[in-house]
């Protein structure tokens, strides 16, 4: 598909929510290795709240849709990742209030502005072993493909995030709970980075179906 109208984008984020709720055990396992075993619980709670909000259309713009998702995450999740993922969606939607369709260019703006907002709020840089390590390459891939049909861009963006997740295995954490583990975090991927990949993968699957 070239792009998604607002109703299709809403349905896509419902599917993303289902995917995140279904990933609860996987994400909790990842957080058990280098955190406090609650990442899957938080994300599942957050996207259950998103699912409830998205049952009430219509949304007037891509920005309104993303803002609604971010607010639901912020209100329901708590923890470091509630602020981080809420900020990703709210910050990412801030300059998309005139957009009536999700295009590849709008996707690039969402991920770039979301990344900037997350970094402004939490201070994580690339290589700190956080979700930024998946989001940053995803945003770069989205910018590189901003002229392509969404159905071609999104799978590449999701793949860039997946490679970013894999690279977190070799990183010592400088942010979040895993910071105190030092070298014991080596060999384990960052759970928040895995969530970024799962969100983008579910988006890619929706547009490719």
Positions in the binding site for ligand ADP (CB under 6 A):
31, 35-36, 38-39, 42, 79-81, 84, 118, 122-124, 130-132, 175-177, 190-193
Tell which one of 24, 39, 129, 188 touches Mg ion (CB under 5 A). Answer: 39
Task: Tell me which of Mg ion, ligand ADP, none is bound by residue 63, counting a contact when its beta carbon lies within the kind-specific cut-off of 5 to 8 angstroms.
Answer: none
Q: Which residues contact 160 (CB under 8 A, 6 or more apart)?
A: 137, 138, 140, 141
HSE (CB half, 13 Å, CA atoms) of 195? 31
Task: Tell me which of ligand ADP, Mg ion, none is bound by residue 193, counting a contact when its beta carbon lies within the kind-specific cut-off of 5 to 8 angstroms.
Answer: ligand ADP
Beta bridge partners of 5: 101
The residue length of the chain stands at 209
The values of phi and psi at residue 3, to 5°, are -160, 175
Choice between 38 and 113, CB closer to ligand ADP: 38
C-alpha distances (whole Å) from 164 to each of 154, 185, 206 are: 15, 16, 21
Tell which one of 16, 24, 28, 38 touches Mg ion (CB under 5 A). Answer: 38
Task: Tell me which of Mg ion, ligand ADP, none is bound by residue 5, counting a contact when its beta carbon lies within the kind-specific cut-off of 5 to 8 angstroms.
Answer: none
């Amino acid at each position: 598909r070239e792009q998604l109208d607002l109703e299709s984008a809403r349905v896509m984020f419902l599917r993303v929510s289902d995917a995140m709720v279904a990933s609860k055990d996987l994400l909790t396992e990842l957080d058990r290795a280098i955190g406090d075993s609650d990442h899957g619980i938080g994300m599942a709670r957050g996207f259950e709240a998103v699912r409830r909000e998205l049952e009430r259309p219509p949304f007037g713009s891509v920005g309104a849709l993303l803002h609604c998702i971010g607010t639901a995450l912020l209100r329901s999740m708590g923890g470091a990742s509630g602020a981080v993922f809420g900020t990703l969606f709210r910050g990412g939607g801030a300059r998309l209030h005139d957009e009536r369709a999700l295009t590849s260019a709008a996707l690039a703006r969402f991920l770039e502005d979301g990344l900037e907002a997350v970094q402004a709020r939490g201070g994580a840089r690339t290589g700190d072993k956080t979700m930024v390590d998946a989001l940053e390459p995803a945003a770069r891939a989205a910018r590189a493909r901003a002229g392509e049909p969404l159905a071609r861009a999104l799978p590449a963006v999701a793949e860039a995030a997946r490679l970013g997740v894999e690279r977190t295995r070799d990183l010592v954490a400088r942010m979040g709970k895993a910071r105190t583990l030092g070298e014991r975090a080596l060999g384990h991927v960052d759970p928040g980075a895995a969530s970024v990949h799962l969100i983008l993968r579910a988006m890619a699957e929706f547009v490719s179906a």
